[in-house]
Amino acid sequence: MLVLQPGPALLSSIHQRKGRTGYYITVATPKSLRKKLGNSIRRKVGNTHKEAIANRSKVEVEIQRQIGKELNQLSLVEEVQEIYQENTLSDLPTSDKEQLKNIYQVDFDKEGNPTTPEEAALWEELDGKTTYHQWINKRRIIEGVSKSTVNGWHTKLSKLAKWKGSDYLGELTKSQALKFKDHLIQKGYELSSIKNIIGTLNAFWNWGIENQIFETNIWTGLKKRLPDPEKKGLPPRTVLDEATIKASTTTALRKEKDYAFLIQRYTACRKGAANGLRHCDIDLKNKTITFTAWEKIVSFEKNRGGKRREKQIRRLKSQKDERTIPISKVLFEHLKDMPLIKGSDDPIWPNRYKSSDDSWGHHHCNEFRKKYGLPSHDLRRFGITALINEGVSPYRIWDVVRHKIPGMSEVTMMYNRPTTEDLIEAMEIIAK
């Protein structure tokens, strides 16, 4: 095996640049390379400080590879990745893969496996195998989902990878899937959590079949074999009514209504949908609210003083969640005095943005149980329950709250066209 010396240690610092947005790291260049590369290498690592911290190590590795290449100190794996950085190794022609194996010799154990994890991973990829990280990246690009959804995929697939002891999950069998389910039970996971994990894996394998990664879905039917967890009932209606009164009342400490609460209460939308609204999304003249995706560089006052400038992104749970709905009579009475800025596409509550997963209202809604006596999601549950109890069509429920009913036909949904009167009627039912 080719033995290479380790590259120089990197010492970087996160900082901002005058007149530019975002955060950067600067790495001192080895003396021998300063004539060619300059005294230092600077790279942008994120639009927010949290994002910069999360990306720092990845960018440092990229700089390390650049310096290592210049010094001819790349490791075997780094050298191969550098040559084929624009390509997925698993997609290379078979002849190229075999040539790579012959050129880049590695150490093997008695069973013929590479002795280091990095080289093992390289050989897995040359054999046409891909990691769950690659699956997620591919699916993320195709479907354009939110960071929170991607984080959820990572969380669940990493549990499976940790149990298997490998990031290569494509050759798992039905028997192993059953053993993993038993593993989760033995670890003491809640039944609802186990169903959620297996449900995500099932959906991922269905996607993998469509994209020719898997031939069969090893998770089919495993959810059904688990007993249903005890369903949590809604709190008494009096709790909702008291919470609504509290949210619509100003105090010495709170100078305005909790408008996000009231929007959730009377539209049954998700917390992120309410808290990520812009001024222009609420049209009091035409009495509508629009839920749509957006992104913008936003300047705003921080809660504890000082100013901040960052790129904020509003993603919906899926692209199908984009919609415009009527404002009910009751909600209009609550919102008619809302201090909206006419024509502004700035977010109403920029301080409620969480850059790590592009989510909105996390901290605000976490206070609901203590402040109002119920979690924020119960506002959505109350609204959907009201629509179901009134016998509203599942397609109309979908139109209003984007809550898919099991068995709902995707084909029929394409041709579903509600009238304005249909939507107004549904909103008034939620408002009762």
Q: Which residues have C-beta within 8 Å of that of residue 325, sequence separation ≥ 6?
A: 267, 288, 289, 291, 399, 400, 423, 427
Domain boundaries of the chain, sorted by first residue: 12-126, 132-210, 237-431
Q: What is the pTM of this model?
A: 0.62
Q: How confident is the model at residue 188 (pLDDT cuts 50, 70, 90)?
A: confident
Q: Is the pLDDT of residue 378 over 80?
A: yes
CA dihedral sign, ordered 192, 194, 197, 199: negative
Beta strand 307-314 with 294-301 is antiparallel
Token pair recorded at residue 265: 């209460």
- pLDDT, residue 282, reads 97
- pLDDT, residue 4, reads 30
Say which residue, 44 or 64, is predicted with more confidence. Answer: 44
Q: How confident is the model at residue 19 (pLDDT cuts 50, 70, 90)?
A: confident
Say which residue, 101 or 283, is predicted with more confidence. Answer: 283
Q: Is the pLDDT of residue 114 over 80?
A: no
Average pLDDT over residues 359-383: 93
CA 114, CA 42: separation in Å to the nearest integer?
36
Q: What is the pLDDT of residues 52-88, one digit of tens each?
A: 888 887 787 778 767 766 666 555 555 555 545 544 5
Helical spans, DSSP H, in 71-173: 76-83, 94-103, 117-126, 132-143, 147-164
237-431 has the same fold as 132-210 = no
**DSSP secondary structure code for residue 415 in this structure:** H
- pLDDT, residue 124, reads 64
Count Cβ atoms within 10 A of the Cβ of residue 238 and give its class: 0-12 exposed, 13-18 middle, 19 or more buried: exposed
- pLDDT, residue 109, reads 67
Mean pLDDT of the chain: 82
The mean-pLDDT minimum among 22-36, 57-71, 350-364, 382-396 falls in: 57-71
Q: What is the pLDDT of residues 324-368, one digit of tens each?
A: 999 999 999 999 999 999 999 999 999 999 888 888 999 999 999
The correct CATH number of 237-431 out of 1.10.3470, 2.50.20, 1.10.443, 1.25.40 is: 1.10.443
**DSSP secondary structure code for residue 319 in this structure:** G
Class of domain 132-210: mainly alpha
Q: Locate tokens 């139109």: which residue? A: 399
CA 123 from chain centre, in angstroms, equals: 30
Q: Is the pLDDT of residue 2 over 80?
A: no
Average pLDDT over residues 240-263: 92
**DSSP secondary structure code for residue 304 in this structure:** T
Helical spans, DSSP H, in 146-297: 147-164, 174-186, 191-210, 237-247, 259-267, 271-275
Average pLDDT over residues 135-154: 83
**DSSP secondary structure code for residue 188 in this structure:** T
CB of 401 closer than 8 Å to CB of 383: yes
The H or E element containing residue 300 is strand 294-301
CA 10, CA 407: separation in Å to the nearest integer?
55
CB of 97 closer than 8 Å to CB of 89: yes
Average pLDDT over residues 109-123: 61
Percent of the chain exceeding pLDDT 70 equals 79
Q: Which residues have C-beta within 8 Å of that of residue 204, sequence separation ≥ 6?
A: 135, 139, 153, 157
Measured between alpha carbons, how far is residue 25 from residues 16, 167, 333, 362 in Å?
Answer: 9, 30, 50, 29
Q: Is the pLDDT of residue 239 over 50?
A: yes
**Bridge partners (DSSP) listed for residue 311:** 297
